[in-house]
Amino acid sequence: MYTATITSFGKKYSASGQTVSDALSKIEVSGVARGKSVLSVARGTNSKDRVLSPVMTSRLFSKSPIIREVALKNTSLLFDGV
């Protein structure tokens, strides 16, 4: 079970899923997601943190399903080995 937590502008959002992509897709961010964010993915005792650029953050939580799907794939590749 993977747990993804994103911190943006002092607010934390988290979700869990069977894969990294599932956990990321279940995160619901209220309002417009713009600005830098810190994304951390944990599985058991293993954890990785990555800083996401404002562009990647907005794409990851975009309303467009195609943009969001591509961003999910690219972001989940950052967390190989967790």
User: Residues of the chain with pLDDT > 70: what percent?
Assistant: 98
d(CA 20, CA 30): 21
Determine, yes or no, domain membership for 82: no
**What's the pTM?**
0.85
Residue 49: which domain range? 2-77
12-44 confidence digits (pLDDT tens): 999 999 999 999 999 988 766 778 999 999 999
Determine, yes or no, domain membership for 60: yes
Q: Mean pLDDT over residues 41-63, rounded?
A: 92
Determine, yes or no, domain membership for 35: yes
Domain count of the fold of the chain: 1
